[in-house]
Structure 1
């Protein structure tokens, strides 16, 4: 009789562990997405004799995941989104500035944790290839080499969602520079607005809990200030020519 009870306890324990593991597995699944995005804006003149430009037209294709796992690190950051942007931009003056193609990893946060507003911030750092540089046109002081670093900072607002599709509008800032590795390098800046449609691997709305998977949060937070310092070597170089010395 004791053996039968022991076997029953073991079977029940295994069943509970298996059910718990399956629930955890379901909760740990990521939400995959793909998002085409159209942008329109204007380059920002940052030096004298900056060439005249028409509106900048860009197309971004983003692929990535939404972290919907029910773990502390994911909840603390309001289930962030990470992925990679593939981009193409017509810079408004093909003969001088040319066009650019980019690859940029990004992370997107929902810092306010308010599912009614559904605002988000997106930051990306990557690289771009420019078809025209200073070597092809001496009027192009913005880009000194074909390969540059690129930076993106955007604010997004969800317009509405339909099952697996989320329509959004955004506005932000794009910057490209080679870090003065080849001069002149004034850098190219543009302010743009965007419209996008994000398609996800499963619905954004949970019918059981009726929550929005992108911005649901109820954790307490503690704020802090972090101060950092460092020491290093800097080469004194201007944006258009070398200046000073080591």
Structure 2
């Protein structure tokens, strides 16, 4: 169930995060809006299958480059309460270098402030991207690791961060979260790698923190209709018994509404 959920989750929102991170031009009136986050993460690699190789403590290092979106001229940012966006690069040692190996990760992220009225300094961080794995399943030499079968995989992480200490330029943060890696069934077996982890990080602003424009935005509510079609061609596997590439042909059509240039709702068939 976890594996199936993340396949659909990755495909549905990865493009949205990329657009939020890179597709919007920074307002020229907002300065000193860039921040960096060095981060150390420790955790536990969960068993992916029966007789999965034993693991010690998982060790991760991440470095993120991000920016604030405090501009009332950005409708998507204003309606989402001005989230932070950026990109992260990471290294993961899964706790068994011989059988599970290491991952090298690159992923865009988006981060929201949550429960602002009741808890100050609490943030939800979501990242989706790709990873390179240096160790894979092999029926002869690594048959007990059925988690990952390809070198290139999807990667996802979701963390909740709490600002423990703050200064004019640095927020020291503690986080708890979940990491997932999967090839989306491009090759089987593909049980996926799941991890629970804790984080210590510092969000460092390049200069003084930008001020938040607390005035309500004045965008008018509006909607527009869209119709979209898609054709596709690819390859996939059939089952663990017939683990060979087969052609896949797709067609889909959908229609719906885009609300306030931010939220998209629709339905269709494929």
Q: Which runs of 5+ in 2 are unaligned?
A: 1-26, 222-229, 249-270
User: 2:124 aligned with 1:128, yes or no?
Assistant: no
**8 Å contact 1:123–1:152 — kept in the other structure?**
yes
Larger CA deviation: 144-153 vs 115-124? 115-124
Q: Specify the alignment match of 2:186 in structure 1.
A: 181
State how 1:11-26 maps to structure 2 within 5 Å.
Answer: 25-26=28-29
**8 Å contact 2:31–2:210 — kept in the other structure?**
no
State how 1:56-75 maps to structure 2 within 5 Å.
Answer: 56-71=58-73, 72-75=75-78
User: 2:43 aligned with 1:41, yes or no?
Assistant: yes
Give the drift of 1:77: 1.5
2:113 is matched with which residue: 105, 110, 114? 110
State how 1:1-246 maps to structure 2 within 5 Å.
Answer: 25-26=28-29, 28-29=30-31, 31-71=33-73, 72-114=75-117, 117-135=120-138, 137-204=142-209, 206=211, 213=212, 237=238, 240-242=240-242
Give the drift of 1:145: 0.9
Question: Cα–Cα, structure 1 residues 132 and 29, in superposed 2: closer, same or farther, change >3 Å?
Answer: same
Question: Cα–Cα, structure 1 residues 44 and 218, in superposed 2: closer, same or farther, change >3 Å?
Answer: farther
Distance 1:169 1:50 in 2: 30
Distance 1:81 1:242 in 2: 45
**8 Å contact 2:87–2:108 — kept in the other structure?**
yes
Normalised by the length of structure 2, the TM-score is 0.67
Distance 1:93 1:75 in 2: 44
Deviations 1:98-125 (A, max 9, x none): 1111101111111434385221111111
| Structure number with bigger Rg | 1
Distance 2:242 2:116 in 1: 47
Give the drift of 1:138: 2.2
Q: Which runs of 5+ in 1 are unaligned?
A: 1-23, 207-212, 223-230
Normalised by the length of structure 1, the TM-score is 0.73
Deviations 1:35-74 (A, max 9, x none): 1000000011131111110011000000011111133432
Distance 2:77 2:207 in 1: 19
Distance 1:232 1:112 in 2: 42
Distance 2:216 2:116 in 1: 8
Distance 1:115 1:29 in 2: 29
Question: Cα–Cα, structure 1 residues 160 and 216, in superposed 2: closer, same or farther, change >3 Å?
Answer: farther
Question: Cα–Cα, structure 1 residues 30 and 205, in superposed 2: closer, same or farther, change >3 Å?
Answer: closer
Distance 1:106 1:241 in 2: 37
Q: Secondary structure at the match of 1:192?
A: strand
More strand by share: 2
**8 Å contact 2:104–2:133 — kept in the other structure?**
yes
